[in-house]
Amino acid sequence: MNSEKMTIKNSILIGDDSSLIKGRNVIISGDKIEKIANSNVEEGRIIDADGAFLIPGLMNLHVHINRRNVSRGTGTFRMGAPAIELLPDGERMLYAARNAWYELINQGITTMRDLCSVGRTANHLKEAINNGIIRGPRLIVCGMGIAATGGHETHRYKGAVEVDGPDEVMKATRNEIRLGADFIKVMSSGGIGGMPEREHPNWAELSEEEIAAAVFAAHTHKREVTVHAMGIEPVLAALHAGVDGIEHGTMLNEEALDIMEKRHVYYVPTASGITAVANKEAAQGSAELAATIRELVVNPQRESIKKAKARGILIGAGSDTLGSVLNELLIFEGCGFTRKECLDAATCNAAKILHLEDRLGYVREGYIADLVLVDGNPLEDLHNLSNVRKVFKGGNEVTLEWLMNLQ
pLDDT in tens, 280-334: 888 888 888 889 899 999 999 999 999 999 999 999 999 998 899 999 999 999 9
**pLDDT for residue 4 is more than 60:** yes
Q: At a CB cut-off of 8 Å and minimum separation 6, what does 394 contact?
A: 1, 2, 31, 368, 369, 370
| Whether the Cβ atoms of residue 204 and residue 237 lie closer than 8 Å to each other | yes
**Among the listed ranges 87-91, 212-216, 265-269, which one has the minimum average pLDDT value?**
87-91
d(CA 139, CA 135): 11
Topology of domain 58-353, CATH: TIM Barrel (3.20.20)
Alpha carbon 238 to chain centroid, angstroms: 20
The more confidently predicted of residues 161 and 84 is 161
What integer pLDDT is reported at residue 44 of this predicted model?
95
Average pLDDT over residues 16-22: 95
Among 79-83, 199-203, 268-272, the range with the most confident prediction by mean pLDDT is 268-272
Confidence label for 1 from pLDDT (cuts 50, 70 and 90): low
Q: At a CB cut-off of 8 Å and minimum separation 6, what does 256 contact?
A: 232, 235, 236, 239, 249
**pLDDT for residue 211 is more than 60:** yes
Q: CATH for 5-54+363-403, among 2.30.40.10, 1.10.287.110, 3.40.50.2300, 3.90.1150.10?
A: 2.30.40.10
Average pLDDT over residues 56-73: 81
Average pLDDT over residues 106-119: 94
Average pLDDT over residues 236-262: 98
Average pLDDT over residues 354-365: 98
What integer pLDDT is reported at residue 72 of this predicted model?
47
What integer pLDDT is reported at residue 69 of this predicted model?
64
d(CA 273, CA 263): 27
Average pLDDT over residues 344-354: 98
**pLDDT for residue 82 is more than 90:** no
What integer pLDDT is reported at residue 143 of this predicted model?
96
**Residue extents of the structural domains in the chain:** 5-54+363-403, 58-353
Average pLDDT over residues 143-148: 95
**Among the listed ranges 18-32, 47-61, 89-103, 202-216, which one has the minimum average pLDDT value?**
89-103
Average pLDDT over residues 97-121: 93
Q: 58-353: same fold as 5-54+363-403?
A: no
pTM across the whole model:
0.95
